[in-house]
Structure 1
Amino acid sequence: MELTTLWFIIIAVLWTGYLVLEGFDFGVGILLPILAKEKDPEIRDKERRVVINSIGPVWDGNEVWLLTAGGATFAAFPEWYATLFSGFYLPLLLILVALIVRGVCFEYRGKISDPGWARWCDRGIVFGSWLPSILWGVAFANLVRGVDLDAAHNYVGGFWALLNPFALLGGVVTLALFVSHGAVFLALKTRGTIHERALRLARPLSVVTLVVAGAWALWAQLAYSRNDWTWAAVVVAALALLALVAAVWVDREGWAFVTSAVTIVAAVVLIFGAMYPNVMPATDPANSLTVDNASSTHYTLVIMTWVAVVLTPLVLLYQGWTYWVFRKRLTAEAIPDPIGLSLRAPRDDADDATDRAAASGTR
């Protein structure tokens, strides 16, 4: 196998890891106000802390897959990286801003003892999860469809050209995939009320995901795929989604999570397989970036391969150990009360005076 093809596959694997792991992070963030919705503010806050704590130890580690995928693209296919990040500048900037907002809200939600601050952080988590969930689908769908590149491999289509029907449906697909993925992850990771709500919500979500993902996959394969063998990815994704629907309806959240992850893996195989041998197809095939005309030198790829062979197993072992350490399910009862913070409605001086008078009258 040529090293250029090998690194195309490695980059696809890195994106697979990112979308599978960060996918349930996004889904959990979107579902935060939907699953933690008790009227009592203190109970609701505990439920939201359960939801956030389910991904608290791992969300930042999951983002490392994105950094690694970007770094590998820059080193292995510098012209692909340059064209992609210049042409998709605005959507990628919006994703970056959303990820920063979400990260800040995760880290600082509990640092200030103020209910209003917690509410704003919750909104930031939802926004920082919802926007990337859509924009990643829009970006990958455009790569499958092909974009307007000139002979110098510069993107000339403009921002609005990226918002075509096929790409917008791709955004809906990734949103649906991630939300259902997050729901089954929460069902797998929690007990009690959140567990029950997540499973109940996962049932209709899985059906919606089956419909929209199936429609997009058929459209992609029939209209834009450059390889017949990607039909295998379409079939695997369809079978996995059917298994997901069955698993959530019989309350088998473990199998549901596995089938949801398999669906995302099959989707990445379809996306990258539909492009190959291009790394960035153009509407005019003569201007497409391929694994050959966009790659680094052979010597660079050899060095990168040896680095990957040595370091990748260590990274996988460390991340696997992290998930093993934090494998236990969470419950609202195990969440301690916040220190120095009451989330109930504030009392005014008249209420306090009334209470003191009532107390003195009962002595």
Structure 2
Amino acid sequence: MSDKIKVMVVDDSAVVRQVLTALLSKESCIDVIAAASDPIFAMDKMNSNWPDVIVLDVEMPRMDGITFLKKIMSIRPTPVVICSTLTEKGAATSMQALAAGAVTIVTKPKAGLKTFLEMDAGDIIQAVKSAAVADMRRLRAMTNMPTAIPPKLKIDEVMPAHEAAHTSSSAMSTTTDQLVAIGTSTGGTQALEQVLTRLSRTAPGIVIVQHMPEKFTAAFADRLNKICEIEVLEAQNGDRVIPGRALVAPGGRHMQVKRSGAQYHVEILDAPPVNRHRPSVDVLFRSVAKCAGRNAFGIIMTGMGDDGAHGIREMHEAGAETIAQDEKTCVVYGMPKEAVKLGAIDKILPLESIAGAIEQYGKQHV
């Protein structure tokens, strides 16, 4: 009996199928059991050998990826990684896929496809591994509600630590502005929707890192902005953190919080990936620990790996209140688990209680 992750690749491009199959097959824990040019062929193959994870294109002949995804979720919910083009249209379609139950997204360009896929092999492999451990029962519950992996750089290699991250200065305590910092990854798009749609316009200002590719964060923020009472924006350099507004870090760039007088604003910067992520939760949390200290509220949610665990510990040490999403309601209990192990968390809460905790935090600090 094999313990390997059984993967099926469904894409109408022969080059994509060939390259993805070769890349994934190099991993000892992955077995690419089939590749299909469209969902009709895929279903035929799946009838005899059902995969653990499906890597799926969204634009294909005979049956589009969204229709296929919905069909899979109705028959036998299976982790799906969307492989989408790096375009506005691809981003919008991918948002539909996430809403329909896809676990995560990887991107592919229109040109230079083979080189791109080989360079980004680590991202693709990690996406498949994350999907393989996803709690599909939990993910479905939320969606039904309203080559060698690159070196893993640590936060200290990109953004130096500061003494202010470990002490809450008197200068920081004089401001009346508070902020909430949220970090999440696999399963986070659905979880964030559950949290943000429950917040009122009087909720404190929020800064968010959701692991997501470039261009896709704009579509994600726009979708949330349409269904939330608060304003949700893809962050731009200099945007202020104010009550009733959530700023989502743009894909492909880091976001940190800065303070000017008694006000907070965000800075968007280019720097190497941290913990293999850009944006990185650790980068955001460290900056919040440094400039906000006890005036901040840190939340770490569903996601694979440990990005954000060390940063939220720095927030905790600087006097911030911290919470982690509980294991039962996480799609992947990785990031919160690591934060808890570090002793960085004041409270562990289920997903449905996080919005209330944010509102309560705002009321306590008015």
Instruction: State the TM-score, normalizing by the size of structure 2.
Output: 0.24
Structure number with bigger Rg: 1
From the two aligned structures, give the one with the greater strand fraction.
2
Q: 1 or 2 for the larger relative contact order (CA 8 Å, sep ≥6)?
A: 1
Instruction: State the TM-score, normalizing by the size of structure 1.
Output: 0.24
From the two aligned structures, give the one with the greater helix fraction.
1
